[in-house]
Chains A and B, each alone.
Chain A
Amino acid sequence: MIESREALATMFSAKGSKVNTNRGAEYYDSLMKTMTKRLEELEKSPAATKTSIKSVLEAEGLTRRDFMKWASAACAALMLPSNFTPLIAKAAELMNRIPVIWIELQDCAGNSEAILRSDAPTIDELILETISLEFHETLMAAAGHQAETHLDEAMETFKGKYLCVVEGAIPLAMDGLYGTIGAKAETFKDHLLRVAKDSAAVVAVGTCATFGGVPAASPNPTGAVGVQDVVRGKAIINIPACPANPANITGTILHFVLSGQIPELDHLNRPKFAFGYRIHDNCERRAHFDAGEFVEEWGDQGAQNNFCLYKMGCKGPMTYNNCSIVRYNSGTNWPIGAGHGCIGCSEPQFWDKYAQERPMSDTHFKAPGGGVEKTVDEFGLGILTVAGIGIGIHAAASVIAGNKEGDK
């Protein structure tokens, strides 16, 4: 286990991946064929629920036009050309062929809460509703034995077909006894293995389920790890962030319906459509970074003028996620919009590396695994270190950062 954590750390300090948004007509033609075939097959298979997105939309008073607007946005989010939009719409209608079993482990329910608030006009949420959340502790009506029986039944009925969505980390210390569930006091680890076993794929949602997150922060008292450190021999998709953006969860499931495969992933098993860019690349305050205009302390003139938050510890340059485009709560706002820097919540071990209100260069952070203070150079990515040397040479730093991206 320790090896795999270190392997992660090594992977993380490797060069970032960039998404290729135009792969040429040949690629998309063949993709279109594969997806069409997949959807035809899906259509023949029995539905997990008889509710279809169509009937739900009708019940909600949403028009076909609203739906197509959503499909077009989802198509763009998945980085597919616009002629895929009808396929996306079709896939959404067939989503009830793919049941979802959602389990909560060492969590704070933040990701479930985020789903409850997913995008207006509620289509993402409706879809999740339609695809039959077979087991979701925070919301379900049944409790105790009835809840457990229901889980067993759903697993049997949809053997090999359901997606297992996991929220929360898995404590492995003390034989996994830091977390138990059910009348037989099954450990979270055994619970996860049992539910993951007959699933089609496992989707780890939130940074706790992906990389261990909060409980795994130094000194990791319960030996918490992410799903990929426990489940073997299954396709695993990581959708980190604290909490994960609901749009990315729906996008991933949609992709699975479309292709029968998991979306293209980066070296940390994150879907590239969502984690292919840095916060910094599309930040609304980026021009101020380039112009060397920074907030120097909370509430100063710079803050009143929405200057760049880098010197207040913003980790947007180190963080791969689409917050700056998708934002939160139906696009209402996002942390940088509210004047606070990014804390890097979609990156492994961000609590120990990034979640401070000071730039990496002058922070005293708690080094993972021990009390020794380490320098930024030992941890940081090349780009960040360069930027961290001094904001006085910010323009130079920007150029270098640009080169790094280019020389991939």
Chain B
Amino acid sequence: MATKHIIVDPITRIEGHLRIEAVIDENNVITDAFASSTMFRGIETILKGRDPRDAGLLAMRICGVCTGTHYQRSIEAVEDAFKLTIPKNARLVRNLIQGALYVHDHVVHFYHLHALDWVDITGALKADPKLAAAEALKWCDTPHGAGEGDLRAIQERVGKFVKQGRLGIFSNAYWGNKNYKLTPEQNLIAVAHYLQALDMQRDMAKMMAIFGGKMPHPQSLVVGGITCVQDIQNPARIAEYKSLLNKARNFVKNAYLVDVLMAGTVYADEALDGTGAGLKNFMSYGDFKLDDTGFYNASQLFPSGVVLNGDLSKLYPLDQTKITEDVSHAWYEGASDKGLHPYDGVTNPKYTGLEKKEDGYAYLKTKEKYSWIKSPLYDDTRMEVGPLARLVVGLAAGDANFTKYATGFLTKLGKTLGLPTAAPASVIFSTVGRTAARAIETELMADVMMGWVDELAANVASGDVSTWREFDFDKVSKNARGFGMAEAPRGGLGHWIVIKDGKIENYQTVVPSTWNAAPRDYKDRKGAYESALVGTKVANPEQPLEILRTVHSFDPCIACAVHIVDTKGKELSSFKVNTSCAV
């Protein structure tokens, strides 16, 4: 009986408030894990009764990170309900804003939110900049900003931070943990790119601001189209976008992808043994419309579908009617079964709290309810969503793009590992693989977007400046319902809306972190995080680095995942407990 129960709260370097509790046995192997979101806002309730044309602006504030995605999904749900097909310019501009978000988000995630799980900043100080420059050339013929001089300057800068004794936001991490495996030189290259990426991402955000007005929280989409007419009419604007994209693309190819290859090689044992594989059931809603045939007809850059048990030979078509949300272990009232479809979702908060123990800490009541996130099911099965799911679904669908980019990466990995062939595709079923899938997708995205910019410029030059599809609001909004289902950088993101007499009658979102960060379901099956954590060995339970690694590999975005909907119009104030301040 030497099990330990550890709590990691707050999980930092994520968006939102997340707690992880894990049970560790005498060999320091995680035998059980629980994920809980500890914050609730009630955005879906707030949306009810509003004009559906304004929903996108508010729904966007669900999250400041995949901000534009919520905006677009919400507007698409309304467009689907009104049966509108937007003009070509609008489709291309939305793809370009969204695509830029992918590139931006994935780079920021890897370097600023995830890299410190793999890279030891203090290790970089021991590096010889000359050897590090040579090391960088081993992984890439044209490494980004990793010449001896660049690296020496970076090392001096980091050295100053460390010498002060106060590292600010770098302080008190798990530095020196023996599960950091990069050499000092490799650490230095990655730290250099960490700092350079801070600059790069600013330019990537500018891409979104060109057509979106600002970032985060862009403001140029409306039901029926887009508003940024002057930005698409001005060739200089489009050229500016393209030049920023090209710069971003070079960084992705010569820094991001290379660093992931380097980390993937060093941590290959964890990829090969499948550490952090988790559920192995994958789902993609599909995204990026490539033609103007309208909702759920258009061909898509990312195919939709479902893959079960990691079996790439079988792809199941996606059917949104099979999605339900179970509340057995979430702080809401409801029966203990697979739950209801989003159109019909009934959700009333029922907070049962944590259990304060004698040690002063509060523990999740894991046998009962323990999170603000519901447990979504697809056809009564737990699913993982995200870049890895998109890659797996893309490969199962035989998609040419995914196959090409994944094969390219696995071939390089095979070479760096000294294998006679490409690395086996099974390595993607791991924490390392999840991180690699995100990088592979970023390269694909950046390449494809170059074509979209040209397509937009050519279309406008041909004289098409149409940006909005007219509709008669009073007529179409009498009685309608629709859904906006596509991908966000973190995975499948869907908004469902029911409209009556020009107002929102019901609203529900099922988003990436609902799928991934959910608690147990009614059959006591684990959620994606929980499942991915079990079986992982923790080198030092006082420094649960491995937990962070796996949780971060999903790119948690918890604010998105927590909402409530209440179709019965019941006042939430009836759930108040001894309070006088709720309105």
Contacts and interface: CB of A to CB of B under 8 A. Distances in A.
B58 interface: yes
Contacts of B466: 299
A112 B14 CA distance: 11
Contact of B583 (A169, A183, A298, A369): A369
B214 A141 contact: no
Contacts of B166: 48-50, 132
A173 B582 contact: yes
A100 B544 CA distance: 27
Contact of A328 (B8, B156, B169, B215): B215
Interface in A218-237: 218-225
B345 interface: no
A343 B213 CA distance: 13
A214 B41 contact: yes
A217 B173 contact: no
A109 B434 CA distance: 24
B231 A129 contact: no
Given A116-B198, A117-B201, A129-B168, A223 B11 contact: no
Interface stretch (B44-52, B251-259, B519-527): B44-52
A144 B575 contact: no
Interface string B146-173: 0000000100110011011010111111
Interface string A136-166: 1111111111111110000000000000000
A175 interface: yes
A364 interface: yes
Interface in B455-508: 465-468, 470, 502-503
B116 interface: yes
A114 B572 CA distance: 32
Interface string B357-373: 00011100000000000
A108 B64 contact: yes
Contacts of A177: 351, 353, 577
Contacts of A143: 8, 10-13, 173, 548
Given A139-B112, A184-B361, A223-B581, A109 B15 contact: yes
Nearest to B548: A143
B206 interface: yes
Interface stretch (A34-42, A266-274, A334-342): A334-342
A43 interface: no
B581 A355 contact: no
A146 B172 contact: yes
A125 B169 CA distance: 14
A51 interface: yes
A113 interface: yes
Interface in A359-391: 363-366, 368-369, 371
B46 A217 contact: yes
Contacts of A256: none
Contacts of A146: 172-174, 543
Contacts of B211: 338
Contacts of A169: 41
Contact of B231 (A55, A327, A338): A338
Interface string B15-26: 111000000000
Interface in A297-352: 297-299, 303-304, 306, 327-330, 332-340, 343, 351
Interface size on A, as a range, is 35 or more
Contacts of A179: 17, 38-40
Given A59-B153, A223-B583, A137 B63 contact: no
A240 interface: no
Nearest to B551: A143
Interface in B537-553: 543-544, 548
Contacts of B216: 110, 113-114, 243
Contact of B57 (A56, A106, A174, A343): A343
Interface stretch (B221-229, B309-317, B321-329, B410-418): B221-229
B361 A183 contact: yes
Given A59-B157, A109-B16, A141-B169, A339 B229 contact: yes
Interface string B222-242: 101111111101000000000
Contact of B360 (A142, A184, A334): A184
Contacts of A175: 577-579
A169 B38 CA distance: 14
Contacts of B580: 1-2
B130 interface: no
B423 interface: no
Nearest to A104: B17
Nearest to B43: A214
Contacts of B168: 49, 129, 132-134
A297 B470 contact: yes
A304 B583 contact: no
Nearest to A215: B41
A393 to B, nearest CB: 26
Contacts of B7: 144-145, 183
Contacts, number: 348
A8 interface: no
B426 to A, nearest CB: 30
Contact of A338 (B8, B224, B228, B362): B228
A180 interface: yes
Contacts of A133: 168-169
B571 interface: yes
A125 B195 CA distance: 12
B571 A219 contact: yes
B164 A333 contact: no
Contact of A303 (B227, B470, B572): B227
Contacts of A108: 15, 61-65, 67, 559
Q: Which of B50, B222, B225 has the most CB of A within 10 A?
A: B50
A235 to B, nearest CB: 23
B225 A144 contact: no
A297 B468 contact: yes
A242 B160 CA distance: 35
Contact of B64 (A59, A109, A147, A216): A109
A240 to B, nearest CB: 13
A398 interface: no
B172 A149 contact: yes
A174 to B, nearest CB: 5
Interface in B43-86: 43, 45-46, 49-51, 53-54, 57-58, 61-65, 67
Contacts of A330: 202, 206
A334 B213 contact: yes
B442 interface: no
Q: Which of A49, A143, A145, A363 has the most CB of B within 10 A?
A: A143
Contacts of B227: 298-299, 303, 338-340
Contacts of B579: 172-175, 223
A252 interface: no
Contacts of B573: 173, 219
Q: Which of B62, B113, B209, B233 has the most CB of A within 10 A?
A: B209
B467 A303 contact: yes
24 contacts: A2-B581, A48-B166, A139-B13, A146-B543, A147-B172, A171-B40, A172-B582, A173-B581, A174-B351, A178-B39, A215-B46, A219-B572, A223-B582, A298-B224, A303-B229, A304-B230, A332-B210, A333-B214, A338-B213, A339-B230, A357-B54, A365-B50, A366-B49, A366-B50
4 closest A-B pairs by CB: A110-B64, A221-B42, A338-B213, A223-B582
Interface of B: 7-17, 38-43, 45-46, 49-51, 53-54, 57-58, 61-65, 67, 108, 112-113, 116, 121, 153, 156-157, 160-161, 163-164, 166, 168-174, 198-199, 201-202, 205-206, 208-220, 222, 224-231, 233, 349, 351, 353-354, 356, 360-362, 465-468, 470, 502-503, 543-544, 548, 559, 564, 571-573, 575-583
Given A110-B61, A113-B65, A175-B578, 18 more contacts: A55-B160, A56-B157, A113-B67, A122-B202, A132-B168, A138-B14, A140-B173, A143-B11, A144-B10, A172-B582, A181-B10, A181-B17, A224-B41, A298-B222, A299-B466, A340-B227, A356-B53, A366-B50
